[in-house]
Amino acid sequence: MFYVLGLISFLVPFVQALKEICYEGTGCFENSFPWAGTEARPERSLSWAPEQVNTRFLLFTKDNPDHFQEINSSTIFQSHFQTTRKTRFVIHGYTDSGDKGWVPDMCKTMLSVENINCFCIDWSRGSHTEYVQAVNNILVVGSEVADLVKTLRDELGYSPSLVHIIGHSLGAHAAGEAGKQMPSIGRITGLDPAQPYFQNNPTDLRLDPTDARLVDVIHTDTAPFDSSLGLGINQLVGHLDFFPNGGIQMPGCKHKENYNSEIDKVLQEVSRGNWTLNISEEYNKLVCNHLRSYKYYMESIITPDGFIGFPASSYFGWIQPKQTVTAFIDVETKVGRLKSVDFIWSSRNVKNYKHPLEVKSVTVEYGRDGTRYYFCGIRTAGPRTRHIIPLCNRTAGPKDP
């Protein structure tokens, strides 16, 4: 069966003609350059009709936190939607669903800490197909999300700047499509945006910083797809791109090297054109890193201070010696002249480092007058170990140049 599906998919580029197709309410879609017919996207597939994709909008609010209301552009006026709240959309990815599992769980988690309108976007009918077709179907999903935001703006005076779209995998690029069609979206969060058919492709085809006022991205599975079956895009696609643990191997997930034979099987099917990978047991073993992105994001909702990110040119550059970490302590108390610093590395931050970390120096600066105190470390600092770091042999004084 795999081979027959693959053969049919492989022949598509040669038999489907160039054309454009238009649908009322979602606009027109084409299979010409750059959307198809390229080395990265040889297949000339077209998006399904909106009725086939069957995008559903499932609304959770404080008024209905346990059971969603299914709404559309006509019925939203009779729903629990309130214009006084911010609005968040959550869009799932390939072979996933929006009416069960992590998507409604994320809405419920957000509602536990804030009063919002939260939409689960279910496009499972359009995502449970060959990957190439699902890639095209997200254009319809993004268009329909944009159309609903347009209705909110035009009919209710609701500002798109209050809209936050969260998308995982293909859903991240669907969020980008919504932003392209509806300018001034406040924020888009991409959770490990899909790599195949998007890596190094033009910005018209993928999530991009111009799609919203703020685009932030979490990358968790960025190994090359063609050799290691990395499913997440490995390039900067937002204003802020976070790569937890380097963005390739996540704690708690088995290294993909342990599944080389399974990877080979999946890649063989892909090379034959078969993207219907949800029926493969081997595939299910290999998505752990990819799924970590939405798990990390959900955890950050209830533990906003639980994840620390530092700017760096690369992960390996960050873990090299002589790197500097800055932390801001937001207090109004002036404690006077400092004599020492008690220092403990958080085990969360250091447990995955292969080499010991040395605290060479600590500088404390008062924000009010710029006075600095310098403390000199003398030994390696391990996790959960208290280190008392004394003042250096220099005078504390005004901010040095």
Contacts of 284 (CB under 8 A, 6+ apart): none
The full DSSP string for 22-60 is: EETTTEEEE-STTTSSSSS------PPPHHHH--EEEEE
CB 170 within 8 A of CB 94: yes
Q: Return the pLDDT at 286.
A: 78
| β partners of residue 120 | 58, 90
Q: Return the pLDDT at 15.
A: 39
| 3-state DSSP assignment of residue 1 | coil
Contacts of 327 (CB under 8 A, 6+ apart): none
The residues assigned a catalytic role are 169, 192, 290
Domain residue extents for the chain: 2-302, 311-401
Q: Show the tokens assigned to 27.
A: 């606009």
Q: Show the tokens assigned to 266.
A: 């999946």
Rounded to whole angstroms, the Cα distance separating 166 from 217 reads 10
| β partners of residue 350 | none
Low-confidence ranges of the chain (pLDDT < 50): 1-15, 278-279, 400-401
Contacts of 116 (CB under 8 A, 6+ apart): 61, 85, 86, 87, 88, 110
Q: Return the pLDDT at 389.
A: 80
CB 277 within 8 A of CB 131: yes
Class of domain 2-302: alpha beta
For residue 187, give the H/E element and its range.
Answer: strand 187-191
Q: Residue with structure tokens 């957000």?
A: 110
Q: Return the pLDDT at 61.
A: 98
Q: Return the pLDDT at 279.
A: 43
Q: Return the pLDDT at 13.
A: 40
Q: Return the pLDDT at 337.
A: 78
Q: Residue with structure tokens 């932390």?
A: 327
